[in-house]
Amino acid sequence: MRTKTIAVAAALLWTGAAAADPKDYRFEAVQAQVPASAAATVAVRLLHVPSGKPVVNAVVFQPKMEMPMDGMGPMATTVKAAAPDGTGTYPFVADLAMAGPWTLTLSAKVQGEAATITGSVPFTAARR
């Protein structure tokens, strides 16, 4: 019986059934409002929802910053990743010279997770 239990547990781990769901993670803004600037810094956290703790050492990639436009497609702007601080905060530098609502869409790989985590974070660029 013990051998059968170990075999079932090993099979679950091997197939990934024991792995967490990508829905167990979410991106959130460190500050929802940033000063409008051609080199604005926006920062996000990747949270493990069940524990409420930030995820450190994730590989965050494919950042895309867009401003929704009424009656037309969104306006994209440049965005580049900056060096993470090791505490679960992932900063980006973007051209947010135009004040208003912006959305940062990104993806992440977390160690031990087979699936890619994707999410969008709204920001507001405000005049000083």
Q: Is residue 74 part of a domain?
A: yes
Q: CA angle, 55 as apex, 49 and 59 as ends, to 5°?
A: 125
Amino acid symbol at 119: G
2-24 confidence digits (pLDDT tens) = 544 444 343 333 333 445 587 89
d(CA 13, CA 72): 47
b/e map of 72-100 (b: 16 or more CB within 10 Å)? Answer: eeeeebebeeeebeeebebbbbbbbeeee
Asked if residue 34 has pLDDT above 60, the reply is: yes
pTM of the model: 0.81
Give the residue numbers spanning the domain of 101: 20-126
The stretch 33-54 carries a mean pLDDT of 96
At 41, which CATH number? 2.60.40.10
Contact 26, 44 (CB under 8 A): no
70-105 confidence digits (pLDDT tens) = 889 999 999 999 999 899 999 999 999 999 999 999
